[in-house]
Amino acid sequence: MIDNFAANDKFIEDNLLNNINELSQLCKFQSVSAKNLQLPETAAFLSELFIKRGFNVKIFSDSGGPVVYAERMGRIDKTLLFYNHYDVQPAEPLELWNTDPFDLVKKDGKLFARGVSDDKGQIISRLSAIDSLLQENELLPCNIKFVIEGEEEVSSKNLKPFVEQNKDLLKSDACVWEFGGVDDFDQPILYLGLRGICYVELSVTTANQDVHSGLGGSIFPNAAWRLIWALNSLKDQDENILIHDFYNDVVPPSEMDIALFKQIPNMGDIYKKRYEIKQFTKGLQDGVDLNVAEAFSPTCTICGVTSGYQGIGSKTVLPAKASAKIDFRLVPDQTPERVLILLRDHLDKQGFEDVEITFLGGEAPARTDPADPFVELVAESATSVYGMPMMIVPMVGGSGPNHLFIENLNVPVVTAGVSYPGSQNHAPNENIRINDFINGTRHMVRIIKNFGNL
């Protein structure tokens, strides 16, 4: 490992206002993908930022939010790939913002703007690290590639074909994911895996209209009851998912995974207090088992149910329609495609041929081996910035398109960046701390230089 970064660190600090100025310009673009706003304009601005740093840039405009691809060669033939996105969540509710969400404001050592954490600040921090490296040597320590998409906040709907059709272009040896930062104790965290998801709507229709319950209650089928019985067949009260073969593809956490989870702070008591939860499911108590279960269990979560009368007081009606939204979180090696097949099969065998399944979206689970040398490199590179190595989290509960990179490019994927738990991603007053921006950038310089030196 290289251990002298004094010149880089100084440059990052000296150049800080320039980079914040670029971040401010980037945040002015209201690149809300859900509203299809200013996506090509933002992509064009981003490509300028890369071109002025000597990158070759290509814009792929097949979809609403063009993909910005940028590359610059390095001293050695090893390639580090960065995945980011320039689209942002809607800023609403506007009345809860203390400042204009699209006008970057510096206050109390923080920068406030929609997207400043998710994900524009991450992009500029990475560019700032590159500035520091280029100031030192006109050849980068390794080849660098960027894929910056414009539809991450709307399920990355065009990313799959893009990655699959551009495997050669994206060929690389390791990947840094779009998000990253420190935890409540200011320790940087390295997430190695994301669960998959299979999101479906189940719906039942039993008649062409709702009927007075005095008339039909005894003899007409009731869509709400059909749905309740079908849902009940999916999971028992001990949280066992009853779909045949559902658990077949589950790979349990390894000994190394468990050892890593033991280092993660216990969250049980914090969760209980924060959400006023009386007890966890499956009799789980605060501790490593809770941490492991949170990330490594597949789930069958009812996200919503709707049927019949839902207003104030009583209405004596027998509903003709009922539906539920269900989110299955998947762990390696489950896939949404397989779960869909198993679910249909289950419902049919249980006598629920009348329950329709609408697939609303899916991602495969994917993870990077904690024993991959790149993981240690990234974790240890943090020590000379943060005073400690990164905490390695083998898997988190959320989902994302990391499997596209892991499967198609066969690269390890790590997280590192400039956010903190108070960043308010997706919420009003999104912000980052300037100190985290500096630290994250310094960390990125170390990752790139150590990678080129590996």
Identify residues 259-318 at the interface with a second copy (CB under 8 A). 271, 275-282, 284, 290, 293-295, 297, 299, 301-310, 313-318
Give 4 or 218: the residue with its C-beta nearer to a second copy: 218
Give 94 or 215: the residue with its C-beta nearer to a second copy: 215
Give 7 or 215: the residue with its C-beta nearer to a second copy: 215
**Stretch of 56-64, 169-177, 232-240, 430-438 contacting a second copy, by CB under 8 A:** 232-240
Give 37 or 396: the residue with its C-beta nearer to a second copy: 396
Strand pairing report for 413-414 and 174-176 = parallel
Give 4 or 314: the residue with its C-beta nearer to a second copy: 314
Q: Which residues contact 121 (CB under 8 A, 6 or more apart)?
A: 23, 111, 115, 418, 419, 432, 437
Q: Is the peptide bond before 119 cis (omega within 30 degrees of 0)?
A: yes
Nearest to residue 367, comparing CAs of 398, 402, 416, 410? 402
Answer yes or no: are the C-beta atoms of 374 and 174 closer than 8 Å: yes
Give 220 or 386: the residue with its C-beta nearer to a second copy: 220
Answer yes or no: are the C-beta atoms of 231 and 273 closer than 8 Å: no
Beta carbon of residue 371, minimum distance to a second copy (angstroms, whole number): 25
Answer yes or no: are the C-beta atoms of 39 and 134 closer than 8 Å: no
Considering only residues 222, 334, 381, 441, which one is a binding residue for a second copy as defined by CB under 8 A? Answer: 222
Beta carbon of residue 76, minimum distance to a second copy (angstroms, whole number): 38
Beta carbon of residue 278, minimum distance to a second copy (angstroms, whole number): 8
Binders of a second copy in range 14-53 (CB under 8 A): none
Beta carbon of residue 267, minimum distance to a second copy (angstroms, whole number): 9
**Stretch of 48-56, 62-70, 191-199, 443-451 contacting a second copy, by CB under 8 A:** 191-199
Give 61 or 301: the residue with its C-beta nearer to a second copy: 301
Binders of a second copy in range 344-363 (CB under 8 A): 351, 360-361
Considering only residues 133, 211, 392, 393, which one is a binding residue for a second copy as defined by CB under 8 A? Answer: 211
Considering only residues 54, 161, 214, 421, which one is a binding residue for a second copy as defined by CB under 8 A? Answer: 214
- Residue 247 makes contact with a second copy by CB under 8 A: no
Nearest to residue 361, comparing CAs of 151, 210, 216, 113? 151
Answer yes or no: are the C-beta atoms of 419 and 433 closer than 8 Å: no
Report the distance separating Cα 130 and Cα 15, nearest Å.
12
**DSSP string spanning 20-72?**
HHHHHHHHHS--BGGGT-SHHHHHHHHHHHHHTTT-EEEEE-SSSSPEEEEEE
Strand pairing report for 181-182 and 188-191 = antiparallel
Report the distance separating Cα 203 and Cα 113, nearest Å.
40
Tokens, residue 395: 């898997």
Q: How many residues bind a second copy (CB under 8 A)?
A: 74
Give 60 or 229: the residue with its C-beta nearer to a second copy: 229
Give 55 or 328: the residue with its C-beta nearer to a second copy: 328
Cβ density class 407-419: b for 16+ within 10 Å, e for less: eebebbbbbbbbb
Beta carbon of residue 262, minimum distance to a second copy (angstroms, whole number): 17
Considering only residues 125, 399, 402, 439, which one is a binding residue for a second copy as defined by CB under 8 A? Answer: 399
Tokens, residue 173: 């040896």
Strand pairing report for 356-363 and 196-205 = antiparallel
Considering only residues 397, 407, 421, 422, which one is a binding residue for a second copy as defined by CB under 8 A? Answer: 397
**Stretch of 59-67, 199-207, 339-347, 372-380 contacting a second copy, by CB under 8 A:** 199-207
**Stretch of 35-43, 79-87, 228-236, 377-385 contacting a second copy, by CB under 8 A:** 228-236
365 residue type, one letter: P
Give 248 or 281: the residue with its C-beta nearer to a second copy: 281
Beta carbon of residue 313, minimum distance to a second copy (angstroms, whole number): 6
Report the distance separating Cα 425 and Cα 91, nearest Å.
10
